[in-house]
Structure 1
Amino acid sequence: MTTLTYEQIFKDLVKSAYDGKLAEDIEKLKSLGDDDINHYVDYATGRGDPDKVVFKVKDCKDNAGCEERKCEVACLFEAIQRDEKGNVIIKHNYCESCGACIEACDYKHLVDRKEFIPLIEVLKDRSVPVFAIVAPAFFGQFGPDVTPGKLRAALKHLGFYGMVEVALFADILTLKEALEFDTHVSKEGDFVLTSCCCPMWVGMVKKVYTRLIPHISPSVSPMVACGRGIKKLHPDAKVVFIGPCVAKKAEAKEEDVKDAVDVVITFKELQQIFEAVEINPAEMEEDESEHSSRAGRIYARTGGVSKAVADTLKRLRPEKPIQIVSAQADGVKECRKMLQDALEGKIEANFYEGMGCPGGCVGGPQVLIDPGKGRELVNRYGEEADSLTPADNEYVLALLKKLGFAEIPELLEGEKSNMFKREFS
């Protein structure tokens, strides 16, 4: 049985790819005749079914102590089942690819497919502009001395054309969500569920609490908005999302939004990539800065979306008699309780925000720092922004014009608004 871990094989093969020795080193690993290594190599290099994210690499028969069946308990959607011998079966049509089962398995029998290595040749020859888009939770993840500018420089050193903070497009969606609320909440008892950010939250509504679908805001996630925005401005570009969430790998493959993002990698994977090629972001020179508002930057933590949209609604529609009264839940258990209460008519708010991970995205399965520290740093980064809301942010308004929106209300109007719209059924 191999002592090599999946993460170590991924790091080693990243280095091999940058050194131009990928095929040679894969052959060396395969020649060992170890089934575990063969599976690890395949999934670390992006092989396997391209429409799936979570895979089983070995059976459970050698681990008689696995009576707790933690992977099954961790799965909200009952996608983890057992055959008559007790081995795991993944029901992929149920799976939301959140990665909870991977984290729960003490024996490392489950892995998520890595997508970065097939991109390396494109990054090396720079024939196609490849943009890194980083989730709002990124701030502070790579060390206290790694500013956004230094992270951008490190990513360019890997071969990326540029880095865009997804918070800029969270700003745009904040404007849209405020307008959606203004349209759909006009009397006591009306309410909306935000569709921003969390694929787990959206998956719960789509698959379990389907009667609430009419209340979900018809918006894409900030990741999708950012990917589409970049490709509108740079039609030949490829887009790589970097964040704390395994489920984003699945979201990027969903039929109605798969045009937006080409590759998803996690914070942990990016850290492994930096280590493999000996890049220390803290030692990079500063690169250009971002201009997102506080609104978009705080999407990374529980309550951030609610705060952003509430502040922006007050700015856009101060005369509206019904302003936002929000309720938030984080973690699967609390999200389910809040949705069940709404389903039963126990309506205590008019704007519902759910995050599948405790604390929000700062508590995602692939973060690098403590979630409490992550929240503190995200809040600090939000306070450093020059604008409180995107309605006051000249950079966001200029970006909207580049994307074809002369005025903010046009985010809900006409065919061009489809780039930020998603229909749920």
Structure 2
Amino acid sequence: MTIKRYFETVLPLALALIMVDCTLPKKVKFKNPVDTSDKPIDYQTKKTYYFEALGVSVSNEFDGARLNGANQLNDSTITLYFAPENTPINKSPYYAFETWSELPRQVYFEFEYPEEFRHRYKPKKRTNGEWGIMDSVNVIKSGKGRMLRLMVNREPQLIAAQEINSSDDVKQWYLQHIVDSNDFVHLGSAGKSNLGRNIPVLDMYRGNPQGKPIVVLLTRQHPPEVTGFFAFQKFVETIVENSALSTKFLSKYRVLAFPNLNPDGVDLGHWRHNSNGVDLNRDWSKYRQAEVRNVASYIEKSSKRDKGKIILGLDFHSTYEDVFYTNKTREGTTMPHFIDDWFARLEKDIEDYKVNEKDSNSNKPVSKGWFLYGHGAVGITYEIGDSTPKERILEIGKASSLAMMELLLEK
């Protein structure tokens, strides 16, 4: 290759790659790395299954659905098959389907999972736009998992492991309840998911963002974990409620809230992973996945550009019980006493509430470790139980938001 050709082709490409790499977030080392390179996934076949002898239809043709197959077992029973996007994966089978019939009738729906999986989530039903937990008398244990007894008719009923909050549902929530009429909430985008869906960010502050310490709120890394999303919603709604406390708080601090970090997984009805078959909450090290890479870049660019230190990161999830996963390391962080003070305040402010804390420094590349190792910030995984009542979730979400604002204003 001639020198002229080198300067015309190879050198510009190399410089471009260097410039791109400079925009990437800094890599963070963890004791136990996780391979987060792309994995193949099995897509659902989107279709409506019609059983002529019964006059019953079952469908997965909507965002957030999970149904991999359906067969008529006998004159009153339909077997529904649910499988994950890929394996290995957590043993937490997610399901979501819609059903209706030509004439009113009672139908049994038997759930079937791959052999290594067992039923986890209590079935929820949406009728006329309202969600409710199905009566336990209509949820029957079976050899394959669970069997639902359901009266079906022409009005479609949606059955799901957890309430469905698709990307469109999330968008409607933040537009109506967070962005609308709040000129201190700046709606932005952290970029696109692997399949090109938007990753929204709610950038909240009053006045100028320059120099304001930054609080980061994350949720929906794992698609079905909507009880954590409900706590996130109430937490954010409390921050923007225009009270004297929130006004004072947002005049001193800045909040970056990401209400849907895994929009592909959410809309595809995945059990846990993104559209590349990867657990996003294991990618906070080398950023192989677009979603984490874009969000981490957005946070760091905002911090650097506006000279605001990242002081706290809360990542909202769901599990079997209410629990806060914290890092053992406190000294030398942005707020060494915040966790103890925050938990004490919650136990004081919430009736009959006892904080369930499990502390350990993150060995795997999860977000709470990224906040600690990458930024010296307090990082907490904020988990809500699968079956925690909605009213209790909202109570905890509001109280924890108020306590956070009060404590940070005392600094």
With structure 2 as the length reference, what TM-score do the two structures score?
0.27
Higher strand share: 2
Q: Flag the structure with higher helix content.
A: 1
Structure index of larger Rg: 2
